[in-house]
Amino acid sequence: MPTNIKIKNLPSGYQSIISNGKHSIIGDEPISSKGTDLGFSPTDLILSGLAMCKVATVRFIARKNGWDIGNVEAELDQMVKRGENNKLNTTVNVSISIEGNITDDQRAELLSQADACYVHRMIEGDWNIQKSTVLNELSIL
């Protein structure tokens, strides 16, 4: 089933209510971009999705294999530079901490699986983003 995200702006800064039909969060731009910094920025949301997928994958694989793990934490940061033809080149650094009674080989397998999570593969894959069209509905949320 395709993912569907709807967004509606709020009057302050660039605040928006972002919804998938079941859950909602607030997005905004940082103060440096004339936002109010009262919600996740667009780049925060991208990194959050990647981090969540990696952590969930580690937990899934550990449970599937009956490995005794505790807390799993991830920290991601990004560096964006302009390349040829003004194309953006992004480097994302990922650190994952896995608590638990596991071997070095099990930990290595969990990290390998995290690097093969769905969102990681999706981001590295080919994208075909269609041009924006006019939404004719007055209320989308």
Residue 107 parent element (H or E): helix 104-114
- Domain boundaries along the sequence of the chain: 1-40, 42-124
pTM, two decimal places: 0.86
The two tokens of residue 66 are 């009956």
3-state secondary structure of 98: strand
Q: Mapped to the 3 state alphabet, what secondary structure does 19-62 carry?
A: ECCCCEEEECCCHHHCCCCCCECHHHHHHHHHHHHHHHHHHHHH
Instruction: Count the helices and strands in the chain (H runs, E runs).
Output: 3, 5
What's the CATH number for 42-124? Answer: 3.30.300.20
- Taking the C-alpha atoms of residue 44 and residue 58, their distance in angstroms, rounded to an integer, is 21
For each of the chain's 141 residues, which pLDDT tens digit applies? 678 999 999 998 899 999 999 999 999 999 999 999 999 999 999 999 999 999 999 999 999 999 999 999 999 999 999 989 999 999 999 999 999 999 999 999 999 999 999 999 999 999 999 999 887 765 555
